[in-house]
Amino acid sequence: MDPGSVIYLMERILIIGSAGQLGSELSLALTEIYGSDNVIASDINPGNLKKFDFCRTQVLDVMDKEKVRKLIQEENVKQIYHLAAVLSATGEKNPLFAWHLNMESLLFILELAKEFNMDKVYWPSSIAVFGPNTPKVNTPQYCVKEPNTVYGISKQAGERWCEYYFQKFGVDVRSLRYPGLIGYKSLPGGGTTDYAVDIYHKAIAGEHFVSFLKEDSYLPMMYMPDAIKATLDLMHAPKEKVKIRSSYNLAAISFSPKEIFESIKKHYPNFTIGYEPDFRQAIADSWPDSIDDSRSREDWGWKHDYDLGKMTADILTNLPEYMVNF
Ligand code: SER
């Protein structure tokens, strides 16, 4: 969507879990549209908020229900981007905590959206909703989903709750099933797809890279500028065009550790890789190789810009300078 052709309501927006991979970049993109007074970037860790010098900030634990409610009331928050979650690999280490945080927080935010008659809510889902019995290639929007990670189970249940709150209470909640997201503005955050973030750091540092996935383990992936564009396009689409209220399949590229390594080697000919699959291989094996996102393309005009080569060139140009921030 061309931002110049849209009139945005200058509403107050709260981003929960701003300092994560998605929030770090989405906060800036939202500030550019809605202005620094209207965007509140929040995170549980005060130290993480230093980088948000372009908008307002708030230390916030999403599980502190009284504090969240008070903030929404006092600030007249009209849109929430609820990004706080425990990711797949970290979730397997503490399943009950992952379930508790991922589910309780979503239900609480949906309730608040209903109570305060909020304009919109955004909540990310993931390819982790799929499981070993799902068709692996060009995975359709509607198919068998039997996720076997606690993260995937929480995302699948969350999708059902989103659709339920839309249908029963008219809460305008929108969601995307992200593939693995790759960006250079934050460090890997405990996901199975995060090897594809780490690999660029190792290449630039001149270090050998050890992949925790096998060389031919394909996963659906997306460069962060595409993910930001998709998120904003979905959130700014007219309500009637958002026909799926669980979560939309979303895709851009698919590659294996060997293929991303080869794309980097074109720029860093001395770069080396080894493969030592660990428990995360089973997680990757349960997820699709590639995704059919035709409903996103049809309903609200999704189109990706970056292929593997273009993404690698962009990251290797920008990451060395950005690394001083870590
Ligand atoms: N990138 C996420 C993970 O690997 C999947 O949504 O956990």
Q: Note whether 149 and 197 are same-domain residues.
A: no
Query: Residue 209: what pLDDT?
Result: 98
Grade residue 292 by pLDDT with cuts at 50, 70 and 90: very high
Residue 25 has pLDDT above 60, yes or no: yes
Residues 114 and 192 placed together within one structural domain of the fold? no
- 4 has pLDDT over 60: no
Which CATH number do you get for residue 216? 3.90.25
Q: 41 with 162, same domain?
A: yes
Looking at the predicted structure, is the pLDDT value of residue 241 above 80?
yes
Q: Do 115 and 210 lie in a common domain?
A: no
- Is residue 86 a part of any domain in this protein? yes
Distance CA 238, CA 252 (A): 23
pLDDT of 180-217, one tens digit each?
999 998 888 789 999 999 999 999 999 999 999 999 99
Helix and strand totals (H; E) in the chain? 11, 14
Residues 141 and 286 in one domain: no
Residue 275 confidence (pLDDT): 98
Are residues 170 and 60 located together in one domain of the fold? Answer: yes
* Pairing verdict, β 12-16 and 77-82: parallel
Closest protein CA for atom 2 of ligand 1: 191
pLDDT of 147? 98
**Residue 51 is assigned to a structural domain of this protein:** yes
Whether 200 and 305 map to the same domain: the answer is: yes
Q: Residue 9 Cα, ligand 1 centroid: separation in angstroms?
A: 32
Q: 46 with 172, same domain? A: yes
Q: If you take atom 6 of ligand 1, which residue's CA is the nearest one?
A: 126
What residues are labeled active site?
Answer: 151
Whether pLDDT at 281 is above 80: yes
> Which one, of 10, 7, 17, lies nearest residue 57 by Cα?
17
CATH code for position 32: 3.40.50.720
Residue 2 has pLDDT above 90, yes or no: no
**Domain count of the fold of the chain:** 2
Site to probe by mutation for ligand 1, drawn from 86, 125, 187, 192 as the one with most ligand atoms within 8 Å of Cβ, is 192
For residue 1, tell me if it sits in a domain: no
| 151/258 same-domain check | no
Q: What is the mean pLDDT of residues 26-45?
A: 97
Query: Mean pLDDT of all residues in the chain?
Result: 95
Residues 24 and 132 in one domain: yes
- What residue type is assigned to position 99 of the chain? W
On whether both 104 and 143 belong to a single domain, the answer is: yes
Cα angle vertex 288, ends 25, 294, to 5°? 70
Name which of 148, 170, 166, 128 is nearest 291 in CA terms. 128
Q: Which tokens go with 299?
A: 């309903």
Are 186 and 317 within one domain?
yes
**Residue-level pLDDT at 139:** 98
Question: Strand runs (DSSP E) across the chain, as ranges?
Answer: 12-16, 39-43, 56-59, 77-82, 120-122, 125-126, 173-174, 176-178, 180-182, 209-211, 219-223, 248-249, 253-255, 273-275
- Rounded Cα distance between 194 and 294, Å, is 25
**pLDDT at position 189:** 79
Q: What percent of the chain has pLDDT over 70?
A: 97
Average pLDDT of the residues in 42-59: 96
pLDDT (tens digit per residue) in 97-147: 999 999 999 999 999 999 999 999 999 999 999 999 999 999 999 999 999
Mean pLDDT on 256-274: 98
Ligand 1 centroid, distance to 141 Cα (angstroms): 18
Enclosing domain of residue 61: 6-179+224-249
Q: Which of 201, 232, 249 is the last residue of a domain?
A: 249
* Ligand 1 atom closest to 127 (CA): 6
Residues in the chain: 326
Give the domain-ending residue among 232, 249, 266.
Answer: 249
Q: Which numbered atom of ligand 1 lies nearest the CA of 91?
A: 7
Token couple for 45: 């860790």
pLDDT at 228: 98
What percent of the chain is modeled with pLDDT above 90?
A: 93
Q: If pLDDT is split at 50, 70 and 90, which confidence band does 6 have? A: low
What value does the mean pLDDT take over residues 274-300?
97
Whether 33 is in a domain gets the answer yes
In a domain, 163, yes or no: yes
